[in-house]
Structure 1
Amino acid sequence: MSLLTQIISRKVLALFAVASFSALLSSTVNAYGQSPEEIAARIAPIGNVCIAGEECEVASAAVATSDGPRSGEDVYGAFCTACHSIGVAGAPKFGNADDWAPRVAQGMDTLLSHALNGLNAMPARGTCSTCSDEEIESAVTYMVDNSQ
């Protein structure tokens, strides 16, 4: 086989490999059962920055008035579940009594203080900047009650 034939064969093989890999990546469902549209929705930005003097859309959800405090379950589902469902960075897992026992032993005031002010990798208010103290307390109570 001549050198030119070898080079062409390698390039064709490389092109085939790249095409096969591209087809694999662009399949309609990934290994986790999510379509490209579901992935795009999951990783979409959660906000925009508005600069004074420029046109800016106002997010209706942020401006909307509330009919009262959200339940602990609602707050957990919207803000806490991302970390507490799988134990991100040592977060006590929802429903796991062993994870919660040492924290519960410190008392509800300490748990609430950690939730409001943050602790270790958990940010203050657990990423819910719009939650009232009452809503944070409800979420903590919901997690504790369901983890004993």
Structure 2
Amino acid sequence: MRTLTVRTLAIVSSALVLAACQGQPPAKPITPEESAALKPADARLAGLYEQACKSCHTVADTGAPLTGDRVQWDVRWKKGEAELVNSAINGLGGMPAGGQCFACSPDDYKALIAFMAGRE
């Protein structure tokens, strides 16, 4: 009986581990309207986002990845947090240096990028 219980426990544990490995469902694109409805939970970050990020990161035609669109952000996220923060601070493509956030610290950029990338 003990062997059966241990074997059953091992099978159930293996199934749980395999299920956990499946991770999240595949990312799907979101619309600019869905993107525009998102905002950081933190009031200070929400203010910075409204002033500096939202005008580009909720409009598809700007070329900026839409806030909350994991399809667009996952490719960028693979570059690593340090590279994304560096791009925000120094500018990239059509984004000006600092992303027009004159009050942002490096930690603010980290938090804003994580929020926009859907990883907060």
Conserved in 2, the CA contact under 8 Å of 1:95 and 1:143?
A: yes
Of the three residues 89, 101, 122, the one matched with 2:74 is: 101
Match of 1:85 in 2: 58
Conserved in 1, the CA contact under 8 Å of 2:90 and 2:98?
A: yes
1:145 is paired with a residue of what secondary structure? coil
Bigger Cα Rg: 1
Match of 1:125 in 2: 98
Structure 1 CA distance for aligned equivalents of residues 60 and 119 of structure 2:
15
User: Mapping of 1:5-24 within 5 angstroms?
Assistant: none
Structure 2 CA distance for aligned equivalents of residues 143 and 114 of structure 1:
14
1:109 is paired with a residue of what secondary structure? helix
Match of 1:25 in 2: none
| AA partner of residue 82 (structure 1) | S
- Output the aligned Cα RMSD: 2.0
Structure 2 CA distance for aligned equivalents of residues 146 and 77 of structure 1:
18
Q: Aligned pairs, how many?
A: 78
Structure 2 CA distance for aligned equivalents of residues 108 and 77 of structure 1:
21
- Post-superposition, which runs of at least 4 consecutive aligned residues in structure 1 deviate over 6 A? none
Conserved in 2, the CA contact under 8 Å of 1:115 and 1:126?
A: yes
1:137 aligns with 2:110: yes
Structure 2 CA distance for aligned equivalents of residues 113 and 96 of structure 1:
21
Pair 88,113 (structure 1): closer, same or farther in 2 beyond 3 Å: farther
Q: How many angstroms does 1:88 deviate by?
A: 4.2
Structure 2 segments unaligned to the other structure (5+ residues): 1-42
Query: What's the % identity of the aligned pairs?
Result: 31
TM normalised by structure 1 equals: 0.47
TM normalised by structure 2 equals: 0.57
Conserved in 2, the CA contact under 8 Å of 1:104 and 1:111?
A: yes
Structure 1 segments unaligned to the other structure (5+ residues): 1-69
Pair 102,128 (structure 1): closer, same or farther in 2 beyond 3 Å: same
